Every structure is written in structure tokens, then in C-alpha cells.
A and B are shown apart, each in its own frame.
Chain A
Amino acid sequence: MTCPYKGLQEVSRVRFREDYCVDCRLCEVYCATAHSQSKEVIKAFKDERPGSVRGISVQRHGATSFALNCQHCDEPRCAWACVSGALTKDPETGVVTYNPEKCIGCWTCILACPNGAITRDAEKSQIVKCDLCPDREVPVCVAVCPNRALVL
């Protein structure tokens, strides 16, 4: 399937399969670690910021759970709403990228994202969202999920 967005190749996005998620939250741990300074699990959680800020979050209601991250939408409402230009859709890759340098922490994008896929990092006055792990072949959450509840 090709993505019709300006004739791009299909945009990668992490999809969850909620029937397979067992709420183990390994994806959260590994996402936070991969995006931490030390890249070590214990350190990332203990010495860096607790409850670490991450680009994927497990939601649970009753017996249902799944891990949601940014869907790099074809209609990126967040980027359309972003007042500073920090959020843009890369015309080559289709990835919705975030430039923390530009962000003013106004939270307009949070109101705009229809999936609730953006988290505030209030301490830094910035946001956190999935970057699809640009330095890896497969995003870390997809790689570590033991139940294949996250797929590309």
C-alpha cells in the first residue's frame, strides 16, 4: 500500500493490537531508556527523571489495554496547530518530527492531537512523542514487545 501523501512511500507507524497486549509496560520502559541520556534501564528510571518521560503510553480500561504512540498521521493536526514550527511532517519520510529547540511549551498540539499521543514534559516546558527511533531499524517498542502487540 502506498501512502497518498504527496506520492510518498508508505509512512511507517507503530500499530497496536489490543487483543494481544497484556499490560506489561515493557514498551514504556524501553522507550524511556532508549531516549534517556544513559540508555541504561535502572539509571534511566532511578537517576534521571522518575516516571520517565516517554513516547509511548499504555492505557487500560477494564480488561482492555494497549500501548499508544504517535501515528504520524497523514493529516498531522498537531503540526498544523503547532504555533512555533517545532512539529513538522517530513515530506520525504512522512515522519512527524519534533524540534525541542523551537518548542515554547504552549500545549496547543495537545489539544489538536486526536489520539492523545503527546505527553507534556512540564519540567522542561516541552512535549514528548514517538520519533519512530530514527537510529534503529525497528522502533524499540516493537522490538521488545513479547506478544507482538505492537507492529509496524
Chain B
Amino acid sequence: MAHYKYLIVGNSAGGIGAVEAIREVDSQGSLAIVSDEPYSAYSRPAISEFLMGERGFGDRMYYRDPEFYDRHRVEQHLGARVARLDLESREAVLENGDRLGWERLLLATGGVPITPRMDGLELQGVHRFTTIDHARNIDAALQQGAKRVVVVGGGLIGCSLTSALVQRGGVEVVMVELLDRVLAAVMDATASALVEARLRELGVRVVTGHSVASILPAASDASRVGSVALNSGEEVPCDLVGVAVGVAPRLELVRETPIQVNRGIVVDHHMETTVPGVFACGDVAEAYDFIYDSHRVVAIWPNAYIGGRIAGLNMAGGHHEYDGCTAMNSFSYFDMALASAGLFDPGADDPVQTITVSGDGVYKKVVLRDGWLVGFLLQGDIDQAGVLFRLMRDRVPVADFQDRLLEDGFGLVSLPRPLRDAWLSEGVGPDGSLTGGLAAK
């Protein structure tokens, strides 16, 4: 039986973050990574570009260079699903019966596409859109002549799929969103309306406030999709359905184990689960959210990578704390530019102050609580969004200069000088030590 000092399940953002961190501090300890996808780590968000036809599945699709795994002395077990964990003997049991032992385990198993309950999901022509194989299947269906597509879900993944279809051209797209607006999780109503207007401009039909009740077979071939029935009673003819509702934590390995699970796997600030020696990160875990001051699933790439990095440093014997994450999303589809983070769409009774600037193709908004920036949303010029994000993350009191936050030309220059000087000298301190918290020490 193979036995490793470090075993990682999931070969994507979180897993690679851990590999890179482990090798910064331990160049020798044996390290293996397992994935049921038969590929080295690739860019999941880039599956949209792949479907556009902008790139083949070559070097441009992979997250790291071809020598990455050798250089980092990582054994890859690809196309191998871990069927269960034996926590007593510290072994992962693969589907083919092989066992991989570990001293430290990282669960970076990501998400599974959410599938709303509806009839007809088994029909040919019903697709998901979270892996490169999903994208390949859709690509094949389009090449075989699919012309009318219903995208179920108007969130980021639905938009990602729609964007690829629009760019590719030659297909009619109907987007169906259950809520009363698209992108409700990452934008406020004003920004959602901008995206909906843009979608219509591009010829996409957007149906909000409705759901797909069932997927119906084609008259000519009962094994294939022919239409979808909306809950309004309307029937929308189509030959391809993209179910793109979002992802939920992939918990199959931890259910019925002592590893505590909430919505995602519960981890502490060190990214360790309730079972010592077992860590978790990324879309499957509940990392600390510094805006909500609680642990939540924040399913974005940077959170997976940094969580993996912290886990990796700690698996190798360090004591690093994750300074936390919060929702942070940029939106670049349909030639638009938007960025949002934190509590960008507060409820009517949240005790916050909101400042908005709009007009002339610009819409910007910051949300403040007790003199602290807790959320923002920018449309158009988003280049300084990272400065706002850091003000949020570092809990900088901004009351004295809050009016500058939405000014044209906002940037480091708008901050009080002592703050700016402190920020820029961070990294390397006077004694050569790192002043930030996430570098390997």
C-alpha cells in the first residue's frame, strides 16, 4: 500500500495551493494528489473560453506548466475516485480498492453541480457546466447541430455558459432564473438590471421569476430533449438544456464520519477539520468570512487557493491562520466590467450607511458600518477595486476619508499618507522579516 506524508484529494485551486505551500517549507516529504478527473489541474473558470472555441484543451487550459508535478515531486493519481476514508487507519480507499495512507490529509473536493428537482433530467441533451468534460459534451452537441438552448440558472455559471454560447453564435438562448433577477448572489438590483439589458441586447431571452417545471422529450425521439415546460405553463422548444444553477459542497467522503459538517466541512482558522490531521479548503469548506464574522462557504477560486495554502503550511508543521475571506466577484462576461465584494446589497434593516454614485454609464456604491467599509459594488471602472477590498479586509477606519472612496481617480493616493506608507512597506520589514501573515516562515 502506498503511504504518503501528505495526501490531497482534489487537484484544482485548493489542492495546488497546498502543494505549492508544502514545497516552500518541506521539499522532501512524500506528497500525492488524487482526482477523479483524468487531467492535471486546469482552469475551471476557463471552460467558458474553451466552449467559445477560443482555446483547445492544450497548455492554455492547464493551470500550471507540464513539469509542475515533477518539479514539486507530486505523485498524481488521476481518474481515480476516493470512495471512502478510513479515519482510524488513516487511509483513503479508492474505487478500485487501492488504499492510500496519509499522515496529513487535505480534502479539496470542491463542489457538485446543484440539480433542481424536475422531470426529464435523464434525457439526452441535458448538460451541466462545471467541468471540462461538461464543456466538451456541450461542444459536441453544438457541433452536431443543437440550435436552441435553455440555460437553467441566471447566476455566474449560467452567465458563463451563456457568454460562451453568445460568443460562439448560431444558437438561440433562453435563460430561465427562478429569482426575480439574474446574478442576485453577486450584484444588487441596479447592476442586475444592467446585465439583463445587455443580455437582451445580445439577443438572449431572459425569463426571471420562473422555473423549469420539467424537461420534455422530443416528439421525434423520446430519448431526446424537445422542450422545457416553465412553471408559468409556457413550453419553450429547445434541443439542449444547460442546468447551471450553482454548486454545493461535495461532501460524499465526510458524511457519516466524525468530521463535522455544517453546510460545508467545518474548519478552524488553521483550516483543520474537527478530526486532527485532516484539513479542508475551497468550495467544500466553511472558511472564516471576516465581514459576516462567521464561517461560510465562499465558492470562489482565490478562497480555495489561499485556504489550500494555509492548510498546506500547517500540514507541514506551521501555525498559520487564515485572515479570512469574503464574497468577492468580478464579472467580465458580455463585455461588461463589474466587481462586488462583502455586503454590497444590504437589507433594509441592516444598520449600515450606503453611498452611491450613478449616471453617465457609471454605477458605484460603498457600504459602511461603524466607520468600516463592509461592502462595495463597482461597474465600469473597476481597476482600483483591490484597494477597496484591502480597506475592508484590514478593517481600516475610513470615516475620515469615506467621501473619496467613490471619487474619480481613487487609489492609494486617496488614503492618508501614514496608512499608504504602512501598506507599501508591508512585505519586507526593516529586519528582513515578513510583516504579512501568509508567507512561509
Contacts and interface: CB of A to CB of B under 8 A. Distances in A.
B387 interface: yes
Given A80-B309, A101-B60, A107-B339, 17 more contacts: A2-B432, A4-B428, A4-B433, A74-B427, A75-B434, A83-B44, A83-B46, A84-B43, A84-B45, A102-B60, A104-B43, A107-B337, A108-B330, A111-B329, A112-B386, A113-B386, A116-B384
A110 to B, nearest CB: 6
Interface string B391-427: 0000000000000100001011110010000011001
Nearest to A91: B24
Contacts of A112: 302, 328, 386, 389
Contacts of B411: 59, 68, 116
Interface of A is mostly: loop
Nearest to A88: B64
Q: Which of A1, A68, A110 has the largest count of B CB atoms less than 10 A from its CB? A: A110
Contacts of B49: 104
Interface in B338-396: 339, 341, 382-387, 389-390
Q: Which of B62, B341, B412, B423 has the largest count of A CB atoms less than 10 A from its CB? A: B412
Interface of A: 1-6, 15, 18, 59-61, 64-66, 68, 71, 73-75, 77, 80-81, 83-85, 101-102, 104-108, 110-116, 118-120, 122, 125
B17 interface: yes
Contacts of B43: 83-85, 102, 104
Interface in B26-45: 43-45
B45 A114 contact: no
Contacts of A61: 404, 409, 413-414
A68 B383 CA distance: 13
A116 B17 contact: no
B301 interface: yes
B434 A111 contact: no
Chain B interface category by residue count: 35 or more
Contacts of A108: 300-302, 330
B424 A110 contact: no
A11 to B, nearest CB: 8
A75 B432 contact: no
24 contacts: A2-B432, A4-B432, A4-B439, A5-B434, A59-B411, A60-B409, A61-B404, A68-B411, A71-B424, A74-B434, A83-B46, A84-B45, A85-B63, A104-B46, A106-B332, A107-B331, A107-B339, A108-B302, A110-B382, A110-B386, A111-B329, A116-B383, A118-B383, A119-B383
Given A74-B427, A80-B17, A105 B412 contact: no
B204 interface: no
Q: Which of A74, A107, A114, A120 has the largest count of B CB atoms less than 10 A from its CB? A: A114
Contact of B341 (A65, A84, A111): A111
Contacts of B46: 83-84, 104
Contacts of A60: 409, 413
* For the complex of A and B, 10 pairs with smallest distance between CB atoms: A81-B302, A59-B413, A107-B330, A114-B390, A113-B386, A116-B384, A85-B63, A84-B43, A83-B45, A61-B413
